[in-house]
């Protein structure tokens, strides 16, 4: 810890529920002023002013998310980790997300004084951490992490190879929408789909 400074990493994931594509775990590191040697709860944190108006990525338009993504990357250390659908099928979504969190924390150049995570996410036990239900709405640094993760995942789903264009991933991003189910029934399951998420779907094989 630098004297008078604490380093906080906020973490959130995007893409836990879709039928296709990766789950992406995003993180943002911020430094905050603190007189305490060890932060014990988020209420002790005085957030950087630049994060004053940030919101959960789900409550921002695509344009606003891109704008915030630029601001965050310009002012803070930001990283994301993408865990692909094959890994999700092999080890399950819970373990895939946990793997993503571990890998993400290793990407940062600093050792955080505290890790703040959304929902049910957990960091490895040796981290000073706090998991907050609804953290992406309540805690600015977690909201920031949700933006990093959401922008990264959306870009991946919108820039897939041309052979996947018939599935219209750029519209539904792999989520289980009516359009997506329609494409699945028409074209079958692709190599991007999470087969363990489609066990109850009447499907046929696809060469895509």
- The reply to whether 60 falls in a domain is yes
- The reply to whether 192 falls in a domain is no
- The reply to whether 205 falls in a domain is no
Over residues 104-125, the pLDDT tens digits come to 999 999 899 999 999 999 999 9
Give the range among 24-28, 182-186, 196-200, 204-208 with minimum mean pLDDT.
204-208
- The reply to whether 180 falls in a domain is no
3-state SS assignment for residue 201: coil
Residues 2 and 14: their CA atoms lie apart, in Å, by 32
Q: Residue 143: which of 29, 11, 8 has the closest Cα?
A: 11
- The reply to whether 138 falls in a domain is yes
Look up tokens 């933006």; give the residue: 147
Give Cβ neighbours of residue 130 (< 8 Å, ≥ 6 apart).
41, 42, 114, 115, 116, 117
- What is the pLDDT at residue 88? 98
Number of domains in the chain: 1
Show the domain range for 16: 5-158
- The reply to whether 203 falls in a domain is no
Q: What is the CATH number of the domain that holds 54?
A: 3.30.420.10
Q: Residue 139: which of 64, 27, 25 has the closest Cα?
A: 27
- The reply to whether 189 falls in a domain is no
Q: Token pair for residue 5?
A: 């400074």
Q: Quick check: 202 pLDDT over 50?
A: no
- The reply to whether 197 falls in a domain is no
Q: Token pair for residue 148?
A: 């990093």
DSSP code of residue 131: E
Give the range among 25-34, 106-115, 116-125, 167-176 with minimum mean pLDDT.
25-34
């Amino acid at each position: 810890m630098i004297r008078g400074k604490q380093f906080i990493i906020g973490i959130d994931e995007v893409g836990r529920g879709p039928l296709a594509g990766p789950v992406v775990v995003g993180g943002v590191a911020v430094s905050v002023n603190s007189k305490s040697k060890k932060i014990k709860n988020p209420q002790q944190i005085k957030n950087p002013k630049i994060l004053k108006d940030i919101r959960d990525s789900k409550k921002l338009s695509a344009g606003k998310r891109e704008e915030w993504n630029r601001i965050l990357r310009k002012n803070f250390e930001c990283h994301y980790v993408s865990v692909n659908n094959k890994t999700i099928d092999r080890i399950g979504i819970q373990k895939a997300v946990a793997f993503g969190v571990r890998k993400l924390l290793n990407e940062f150049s600093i050792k955080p004084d505290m890790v703040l995570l959304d929902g049910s996410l957990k960091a490895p036990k040796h981290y000073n951490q706090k998991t907050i239900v609804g953290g992406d709405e309540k805690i600015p640094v977690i909201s920031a992490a949700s933006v990093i993760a959401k922008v990264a995942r959306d870009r991946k789903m919108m820039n897939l190879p041309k052979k996947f264009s018939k599935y219209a991933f750029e519209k539904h991003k792999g989520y289980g929408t009516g359009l997506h189910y329609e494409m699945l029934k028409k074209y079958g399951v692709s190599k991007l789909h999470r087969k363990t998420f489609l066990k109850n779907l009447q499907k046929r094989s696809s060469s895509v």
